[in-house]
Amino acid sequence: MSLKLVLRKTVLPGLFLIWFCATVCGQTPVEQALSLNQSGLVWQKKGEFDKALADFTQAIALDPQNPEFPFNRAYTYFKQKKYDLALADYSRTIALNPADAKAFRWRGIVWSWKDDYDRAMIDLNKAIELDSNLAEAYKDRAILWKNRNEYDKAIADYSRSLEINPKDAEAWTKRGSLWYEKNQDDQVIVDCTRAIELDPKGAQAYYYRGLSWKAKQQYDKAIADYNTAVKLDPRNALYHYYRGIALTWKDEYRKAIDDYSAAIALDPFYAHAYAKRAGAWDVLEDYSKAIVDYTWAMEFGLRDADIHHNRGQAYAGKRDWRRAIRDYDRSVELNPKLTEVYNRRGAAWSWVDDYDKAIADYTRAIELDPKFVLAYKNRGLARHVKKDYDQAIADYNRAIEMNAEYAEAYKARGECYEKKGDLQKAYDDTLKALELDPKNSSVQDTLLRLKKALKDK
């Protein structure tokens, strides 16, 4: 056996025992407790929580009147998610020192982790009462106000914490996030910009500022902030998702799809990301992929009227009218006041030659929105096919009253007049349609035919 190994196995442990006895065994119980407390803090910092608990427990046994020891053990229990034990120790701390604001604050935090927000609020109020300069307590209470949707009170608490500590980048960011909830985008930008100045690596500040740039339709600035947020925290699905939304506003649908795909890769159950990617596929007229994504969005819980409407549109893009109608049906079941869905379902009924149902849907759309020009024109077309020319003309008249430059309505009304044998009115409407749409070859041909018919008459 080598000399080095002998020293390691025999001499060094002996030296440690001599040191331990000299430093601990000769101490009073109070002094031993203080040493164990310091040792526990070292273990706690290293994440060795069981060892920390052992030291704090011994310290409490040696000096049960020192409130610092149960306070430190409580935090260790909290890190281990043993919330009831943590509460017991914070309560013990408070019993030993009723003026300990930090103990009230931490007990409030533990109550919030147990979803007992009323008790959390009581403790945080007490912490602030005992120490009006405890900035962290204001921040913690602000979170509770936010959870109650009391944003003004939350903002007031963050403002107070910033008065105490104006260099707290997190507080600037959190207050900025609350301004966003109140649609105060200029305030969001001010607060998040200050947060970024203090901490350029705080991804959330870029994220919230990006949201407000997007709300102000400054999409390049929004994308720049999202780029930074993604660079700082590339595994945050939310940042990819919102950058994708900003990119769609710039008509950069392929890039948006890449971001939605990244969000889905990070969170495979992200229903809204599937829905947004489906919308991008829709714009690119890749309806099969859109339908797949809308279906996944529904699978993961997004089953509202809009998602059915949108998938119905994708089926309509594939000319799968029956499936489109089924989705439109479900959409109006969920929200009977979606005017556009009735109009689109009416169009689908027309494509399967069920004009009575089409007319019923267009009529419902008009009842919901009497100024819905397209619904008048579409109902006119359905009545036209049913040879109800007078009613069709009435619908076209209404559409033209609301939009005097509606070329399609003039063209369709002209066709009705021709069917009724009024060639002059047919010619006048077709001429107007051509003035509004001079490159329409079909209208050009119709006008030449009507001109000849009038001359031959």
- What's the half-sphere exposure (Cβ side, CA atoms, 13 Å) at 254? 0
- Average pLDDT for residues 337-355, to the nearest whole number? 97
Q: What pLDDT is attached to residue 23?
A: 52
3 state DSSP class of 70: helix
pLDDT band for 25, please (50, 70, 90 cuts).
low
The residue type found at 268 is: P
| Pairwise CA distance, residues 63 & 54, whole Å | 14
The residue type found at 157 is: D
pLDDT at 65 over 90: yes
| CA distances, 42 to each of 16, 56, 292 (Å) | 18, 11, 54
- Average pLDDT for residues 101-107, to the nearest whole number? 98
Domains of the chain: 19-98 (1.25.40.10), 404-457 (1.25.40.10)
pLDDT at 433 over 60: yes
pLDDT band for 27, please (50, 70, 90 cuts).
confident
Q: What is the pTM of this model?
A: 0.84
Cβ–Cβ < 8 Å for 373, 407 = no
Helices 237-249, 203-215: axis angle to 10 degrees equals: 20
Q: What pLDDT is attached to residue 376?
A: 97
| Cβ contacts of 313 within 8 Å, gap of 6 or more | 282, 324, 344
Q: Kindly report, residue by residue over 120-143, the tens digit of the pLDDT.
A: 999 999 999 999 999 999 999 999
pLDDT at 5 over 60: no
| Pairwise CA distance, residues 192 & 211, whole Å | 11
pLDDT band for 204, please (50, 70, 90 cuts).
very high
- What's the half-sphere exposure (Cβ side, CA atoms, 13 Å) at 427? 12
Q: Kindly report, residue by residue over 283-298, the tens digit of the pLDDT.
A: 999 999 999 999 999 9
Contacts from 171-175 at CB under 8 Å and sequence distance 24+? 171/135, 171/139, 172/198, 172/205, 173/202, 173/204, 173/205, 173/208, 174/139, 174/142
Q: What pLDDT is attached to residue 16?
A: 38
Q: What pLDDT is attached to residue 283?
A: 97
> Euclidean distance between the first and final Cα of the chain, in Å?
126
DSSP letter, residue 387: T
With 0-12 / 13-18 / 19 or more C-beta atoms within 10 angstroms meaning exposed / middle / buried, residue 6 is exposed
pLDDT band for 14, please (50, 70, 90 cuts).
very low
Q: Kindly report, residue by residue over 446-457, the tens digit of the pLDDT.
A: 999 999 999 887
pLDDT at 366 over 70: yes
DSSP letter, residue 417: H
Q: Which residue has the higher pLDDT, 19 or 399?
A: 399
Q: Which residue has the higher pLDDT, 457 or 352?
A: 352
Cβ–Cβ < 8 Å for 346, 362 = yes
pLDDT at 31 over 70: yes
| Pairwise CA distance, residues 354 & 384, whole Å | 13
Q: What pLDDT is attached to residue 60?
A: 97
pLDDT at 275 over 70: yes
Q: Kindly report, residue by residue over 322-334, the tens digit of the pLDDT.
A: 999 999 999 999 9
> Mean pLDDT, the chain, as a whole number?
94
- Average pLDDT for residues 28-34, to the nearest whole number? 94
pLDDT at 148 over 80: yes
| Pairwise CA distance, residues 69 & 79, whole Å | 16
The residue type found at 360 is: A
